[in-house]
């Protein structure tokens, strides 16, 4: 069985460190796991007035999340929180109330920043949001990554990232076996 994992990168920048982190995690995923980055740059600003008639990009995003066995959020930290584009994507995919695409999906949170504390504060804010969305979030190991030149070319870094992605894969399998999102998707 192949587990499809939706990856939402909270940065739109072409040369984003977080996009590169997402790409690296995908290359380190174990057999049977496919990590797929979802597009969020074409989403309109969330407006509750449009809940009854969501735009095509919103419907696509919700469909891709529903078809996944889990979601990895790769977030930079902007002003000690998550970026607006990430929050916008979360708001779209979780609305209207009672029609969230995220419910029960096992979540992973990672992020990288040039700041010394990585994305610790943004990840904490995101955990609060995911708890409300009924997404069990992997707690350990935490991934508060501090970007420096050569970060992605370092074998020790790749080993650290591989350890995380393997642990996340275990998290997804455990939730699927316990009747979580994977079981609900198959029903």
Q: What is the pLDDT of residue 185?
A: 47
Predicted confidence (pLDDT) at residue 94 exceeds the cutoff of 70:
yes
Average pLDDT over residues 106-117: 95
d(CA 123, CA 97): 24
Residue 70 has pLDDT above 60, yes or no: yes
pLDDT classification of 184: cutoffs 50, 70, 90: very low
Residue 140: closest CA among 118, 106, 171, 112: 171
Percent of the chain residues topping a pLDDT of 70:
95
Give pLDDT tens digits for 52-68: 999 999 999 999 999 99
The answer, yes or no, to whether residue 100 has pLDDT greater than 80, is yes
Range of the domain at 74: 3-186
Torsion of CA 101, 174, 182, 46, to 10 degrees: 10
CATH at residue 37: 3.40.50.360
Structure tokens at 84: 């607006």
Full 3-state SS string of the chain: CCEEEEEEECCCCCCCHHHHHHHHHHHHCCCCEEEEECCCCCCCCCCHHHHHHCCHHHHHHHHHHHCCCEEEEECCCECCECCHHHHHHHHHHCCCCCCCCCCCCCEEEEEEECCCCCCHHHHHHHHHHHHHCCCCECCCCCCEEECCCCHHHCHHHHHHHHHHHHHHHHHHHHHHHCCCHHHHHHC
pTM (2 d.p.): 0.93
Q: What percent of the chain has pLDDT over 90?
A: 91
Question: What average pLDDT does the structure give for the chain?
Answer: 94
Q: How many domains does the chain have?
A: 1
The pLDDT of residue 55: 98
pLDDT by residue (tens digit) across 122-155?
Answer: 999 999 999 999 999 999 999 999 999 999 999 9
> Is residue 180 over pLDDT 70?
no
């Amino acid at each position: 069985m192949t587990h499809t994992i939706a990856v939402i990168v909270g940065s739109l920048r072409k040369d984003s460190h977080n996009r590169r982190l997402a790409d690296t995690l995908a290359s380190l995923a174990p057999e049977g796991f496919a990590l797929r980055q979802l597009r969020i740059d074409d989403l309109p600003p969330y407006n509750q007035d449009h809940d009854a008639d969501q735009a095509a990009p919103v419907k696509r995003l919700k469909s891709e999340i529903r078809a996944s066995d889990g979601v990895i959020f790769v977030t930079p930290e902007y002003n000690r929180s998550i970026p607006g584009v990430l929050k916008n994507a979360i708001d779209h995919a979780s609305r209207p109330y009672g029609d969230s695409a995220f419910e029960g999906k096992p979540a992973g949170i990672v992020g990288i920043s040039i700041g010394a504390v990585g994305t610790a504060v943004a990840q904490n804010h995101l955990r609060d949001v995911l708890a409300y969305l009924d997404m069990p979030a992997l707690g350990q190991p935490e991934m508060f990554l501090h970007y420096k030149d050569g970060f992605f070319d370092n074998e020790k870094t790749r080993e650290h990232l591989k350890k995380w992605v393997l642990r996340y894969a275990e998290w997804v399998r455990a939730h699927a076996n316990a009747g979580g999102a994977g079981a609900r998707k198959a029903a």
